[in-house]
Amino acid sequence: MSETSPFVVDADWLQSRLGSPGLSIVDASWYLPAQKRNARDEYDAAHIPGAAFFDLDAVVDPDSDLPHMLPRPNVFAQYAGAMGISADDTIIVYDGPGFFSAPRVWWMFRVMGVYQVYVLDGGFDRWKAQGRPVTAEPTKSAANVFYPSFDASRVVSLADMRRIVESGAVQIGDARSPGRFAGAEPEPRPGIRAGHMPGAKNVPFSALSRDGEFLPLDELREVLEKAGIDPDKPVVTSCGSGVTAAVITLALESLGNTDTRLYDGSWTEWGGQTDTPVVTGKD
Catalytic site positions: 239
CA within 13 Å, CB half, 41:
4
Q: Helices (H) and strands (E) in the chain — how many of each? A: 10, 12
User: Could you give the CA distance from residue 83 to residue 108 in angstroms, rounded to a whole number?
Assistant: 15
Residues of 249-274 as b/e, b for ≥16 C-beta within 10 angstroms? bbbbbbbebeebbbbbbbbbbbbbee
Mention every residue, 6+ apart, whose C-beta is less than 8 A from residue 7. 106, 117, 118, 119, 250, 253, 254
Q: List beta partners, residue 47.
A: 135
Give the max Cα distance, the chain.
Answer: 53
